[in-house]
Amino acid sequence: MEKLKLKPDTDTFLTKIESLRFEIDDALLNLDIPTEPAYLYTPVKYALKGGGKRLRAILVNLVGELFGADKADMINGGLAVELLHNFTLIHDDIMDEDYIRHGKDTIHKKWDESTAILSGDGIYVISQLLISKIKNNTLSAIQAFNKASLVVCEGQAYDKSYENNSEITLDDYFLMIEKKTAWMIGLCSELGGIISNQDDKTNDHLRLFGLNLGGAFQIQDDILEVYGDVKTVGKSLGSDLVAGKQTILTVLAREENNADWMVVWEEIKTMETQEAILTLRNYLNQKSVLDQANKYVKIFLGKAKNKLDIFPEIQRNEIEQFTTLILNRIK
Mean pLDDT over 60-76 rounds to 96
**SS3 of 191-224:** HHHHCCCCCHHHHHHHHHHHHHHHHHHHHHHHHH
pLDDT in tens, 127-147: 999 999 999 999 999 999 999
Q: What is the pLDDT of residue 63?
A: 95
The domain covering 10-327 belongs, at the CATH homologous superfamily level, to: Farnesyl Diphosphate Synthase (1.10.600.10)
Q: What is the pLDDT of residue 52?
A: 85
What is the C-alpha separation between 199 and 205, in angstroms, rounded? 10
What is the residue extent of each domain of the chain? 10-327
pLDDT in tens, 259-300: 999 999 889 888 888 898 999 999 999 999 999 999 999 999
CA-wise closest residue to 66 among 169, 209, 166, 176: 209
What is the C-alpha separation between 147 and 25, in angstroms, rounded? 26
